[in-house]
Amino acid sequence: MKPINGYGFFVVSESGVFTHVIIFEYLDKELQYYNLIKDEDRRAEELAILRENMQEFLNEEEVLINGERSYMRVEDVEVGFAGNKHLPYIQYIVRFLGSLKKGVNIYEDRYSPERTTYRYSVAWLFPPGTEVLEVKLGTKSVIKKGHILYVEVPKGTYLNGYEKIVFCLA
């Protein structure tokens, strides 16, 4: 299986709940995943492995919300197909909490530097009325309507292992 695309969607609530939906798309010429998940027992085993592996990966990151450590938790994982059996996807639902306040808030994420092996995009949706003030993600980003942030990460992009988003919660 070869990764071809990734998508991330962050939804931030005023109460400080961060919901992150992550979708990885693959090209699977040998139908490895299609054959694997036809069997319900093997499917359940694979979902458990995927969940554990993603949790270990997330545990290596250090997320800070206003200087306080926040721990990401995989809530669910699902496997499906995008149009045909040669295009499997893996979807994760991840949540974490942060103490947000009215006014300026800071999200930071520290992780191992890496060079991306496939392209991906990320969308951040903050509560209406929020203003994104500063973005340091190591790649191109666009802010729309003040509270929606789009990020494009082309294949081969070097990420230095640090992200920061400063936003003002109304």
Q: For residue 156, what pLDDT band results from cuts at 50, 70 and 90?
A: very high
The per-residue pLDDT for range 80-109, each reduced to its tens digit, is: 999 899 999 999 999 999 999 999 999 999
Beta bridge partners of 153: 120
Extract the tokens encoding 85.
């059996």
CA distance 116 to 162: 14
Distance (Å, rounded) from C-alpha 43 to C-alpha 57? 21
pLDDT confidence of 118, banded at 50, 70, 90? very high
* Calculated CA dihedral for residues 40, 44, 45, 49, nearest 10 degrees: 150
Distance between CA 75 and CA 52 in Å, rounded?
11
Domain range summary for the chain, segments of one domain joined by +: 2-169
Q: pLDDT (tens digit, 9 = 90+) per residue, 128-146?
A: 999 999 999 989 999 999 9
